[in-house]
């Protein structure tokens, strides 16, 4: 065994029965009695895959064929880190023999994935079985709000959800192949546990509908893979790619990435520096994605406000409440003209402010700082409130004697003209500022 890492291997053995899919779990007596998946340490000169098939044969008596890489668990054993690699396995033939390792294994039982999750002692093994075999069964036990959120995410942003799902699926296969091909020192496997842990968290975030968290965990898994690359070939290739990608980064990240990667044109790359450069790249793209999300949410809110405004105006028009010339001409004695006029003026002012905010929304993405974008969203919502107030101010100005030298009597102005002026007052603050300046000067 290596001085700095204990490496072991095992398997998730699958068998299809009339009751459905079942997997093998064993009861081991060596560590005080525990239910776990079949696994064991590597022998000298043995590859992880060879060790996994041998341990499964010894502890369950089953002959198997490997179908896929399942994942890994990692923990400390007497202050020494231990990594266990697992493969998915199918029965080559029905088990007809007893376990050969009776000193450790007392029982072998076939359980459904959910029964296995309830029976297994270690949480990491529970999570891996859940990820590999029964995500749906596990999700049924998660909170109802999280399930609803995940469903709504798949419904309304299905393209982004499918993109992350396909990326995770493809990368799980790539990662399994890399682990299977790794034939270096056992210490080279230390990255596997964190990488698969991050990938499992990406899958959980995907199921919960948290796309941003899913991408961050997915990218973290890819970065951990850097520690398992061949320094002279594979890692050097990553350095070349990162150096080209650094051209697209923001100014300070670009300078930092070049400084980290600049000295690696010759010799063996420093994996720690490559990792930091990859982190800078991923943070840049994560920030860009977050800013795009802020813009999408901002525009979505404005579209919703616009739809509500138009619906309200059409409803007032259909109910013959909107103070149009026809309504005013045949209005009953109890018709509150001033009330409905103030309300309509405010609605048109808000309509103008909403359209103005929608036109200016793409310009807000030119900012390179997320706090500024967040502040812009809050300021826009405040601006919408001010647009309604501005329209009312203009209407009051038109109603007052101060407007007589310029516009004459308000009775000569048609209601539609008032609505148009209210829209302009909400769309731009210049009209209000000029009116206020006129009043202040007078």
Residue 33 has pLDDT above 70, yes or no: yes
In terms of domains, do 398 and 349 share one?
yes
pLDDT in tens, 235-280: 888 888 888 888 888 778 888 888 888 766 666 788 888 889 899 8
pLDDT in tens, 346-376: 899 899 888 888 887 766 555 556 565 566 6
In terms of domains, do 348 and 422 share one?
yes
- Residue 331, in any domain of the structure: yes
In terms of domains, do 114 and 189 share one?
no
Q: In sequence order, which residues have a C-beta less than 8 Å from that of residue 433 and are 6 or more positions away?
A: none
- Residue 277, in any domain of the structure: no
Q: Say how many domains are in the chain.
A: 3
Asked if residues 40 and 49 have their Cβ atoms less than 8 Å apart, the reply is: no
Q: In sequence order, which residues have a C-beta less than 8 Å from that of residue 147 and are 6 or more positions away?
A: 139, 140
Mean pLDDT in residue range 374-395:
78
- Residue 247, in any domain of the structure: no
Q: In sequence order, which residues have a C-beta less than 8 Å from that of residue 132 and are 6 or more positions away?
A: 12, 70, 71, 88
Q: How confident is the model at residue 182 (pLDDT cuts 50, 70, 90)?
A: low
In terms of domains, do 109 and 158 share one?
no
- Please state, for a pLDDT cut of 90, what percent of the chain lies above it: 4
| CA-to-CA dists, residue 407 to 160, 328, 399, 404, angstroms | 55, 21, 10, 5
The β-bridge partners of 108 are 26
Q: How confident is the model at residue 139 (pLDDT cuts 50, 70, 90)?
A: very low
In terms of domains, do 65 and 105 share one?
yes
Q: What is the domain-level CATH number for residue 112?
A: 3.90.79.10
Q: In sequence order, which residues have a C-beta less than 8 Å from that of residue 23 and are 6 or more positions away?
A: 12, 13, 14, 15, 110, 111, 112, 113, 116, 129, 133
Q: Is 248 helix (H, G, I), strand (E, B) or coil?
A: helix
Range of the domain at 181: 142-228
* Secondary structure element (H or E) that encloses residue 75, with its range: strand 64-77
- Residue 234, in any domain of the structure: no
In terms of domains, do 328 and 428 share one?
yes
Residue 155 has pLDDT above 80, yes or no: no
- Residue 134, in any domain of the structure: no
Bigger pLDDT: 12 vs 288: 12
**Cα–Cα distance, 411 to 403 (Å, whole number):** 12
pLDDT score of 325: 78
Q: How confident is the model at residue 138 (pLDDT cuts 50, 70, 90)?
A: very low
Mean pLDDT of the residues in the chain? 77
Is pTM beyond 0.75 here?
Answer: no
Written as six digits, the tokens of 406 are: 């310029």
In terms of domains, do 116 and 158 share one?
no
- Residue 129, in any domain of the structure: no
pLDDT in tens, 67-98: 877 877 777 777 677 778 888 898 877 665 55
Tell which of 228, 256, 281 closes a domain: 228
Tell which of 201, 228, 255 closes a domain: 228
In terms of domains, do 11 and 96 share one?
yes
Least confident among 24-33, 339-348, 376-385: 376-385
**Cα–Cα distance, 49 to 104 (Å, whole number):** 21
């Amino acid at each position: 065994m290596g001085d700095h890492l204990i490496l072991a291997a095992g398997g998730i053995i699958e068998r299809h029965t009339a009751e459905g899919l079942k997997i093998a779990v064993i009861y081991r007596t060596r560590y005080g009695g525990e239910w776990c998946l079949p696994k064991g340490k590597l022998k000298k000169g043995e590859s992880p895959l060879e060790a996994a098939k041998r341990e499964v044969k010894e502890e369950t008596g089953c002959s198997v064929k490997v179908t896929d890489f399942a994942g890994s668990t990692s923990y400390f054993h007497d202050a020494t880190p231990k990594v266990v690699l697992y493969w998915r396995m199918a029965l080559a033939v029905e088990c007809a023999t007893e376990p050969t390792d009776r000193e450790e294994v007392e029982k072998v039982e076939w359980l459904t994935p959910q029964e296995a999750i309830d029976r297994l002692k270690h949480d990491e093994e529970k999570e891996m079985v859940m990820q590999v075999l029964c995500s749906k069964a596990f999700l049924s036990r998660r909170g109802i709000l999280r399930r609803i959120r995940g469903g709504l995410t798949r419904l309304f942003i299905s393209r982004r959800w499918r993109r992350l799902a396909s990326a995770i699926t493809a990368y799980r296969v790539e990662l399994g192949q890399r682990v299977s091909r790794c034939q270096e020192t056992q210490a080279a496997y230390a990255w596997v546990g964190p990488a698969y842990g991050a990938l499992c968290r990406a899958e959980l975030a995907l199921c919960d509908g948290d796309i941003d968290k899913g991408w961050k965990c997915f990218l973290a898994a890819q970065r951990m893979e850097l520690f398992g690359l061949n320094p002279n070939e594979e890692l050097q290739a990553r350095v070349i790619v990162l150096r080209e990608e650094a051209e697209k980064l923001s100014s300070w990240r670009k300078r930092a990435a070049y400084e980290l990667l600049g000295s690696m044109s010759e010799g063996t790359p420093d994996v720690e520096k490559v990792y930091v450069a990859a982190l800078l790249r991923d943070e840049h793209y994560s920030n860009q994605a977050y800013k795009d999300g802020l813009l999408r949410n901002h525009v979505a809110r404005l579209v919703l406000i616009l739809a509500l405004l138009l619906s309200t105006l059409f409803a007032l028009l259909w109910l013959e409440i909107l103070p149009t010339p026809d309504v005013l001409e045949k209005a009953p004695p109890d018709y509150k003209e001033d009330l409905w006029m103030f309300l309509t003026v405010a609605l048109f002012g808000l309509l103008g402010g909403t359209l103005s905010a929608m036109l200016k929304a793409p310009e807000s993405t030119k900012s390179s700082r997320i706090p500024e974008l967040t502040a812009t969203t809050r300021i826009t919502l405040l601006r919408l409130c001010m647009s309604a107030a501005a329209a009312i101010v203009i209407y009051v100005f038109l109603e007052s004697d101060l407007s007589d030298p310029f516009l004459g009597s308000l009775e000569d102005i048609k209601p539609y003209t008032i609505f148009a002026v209210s829209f302009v007052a909400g769309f731009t603050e210049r009209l209000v500022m000029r009116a206020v300046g006129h009043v202040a000067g007078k």
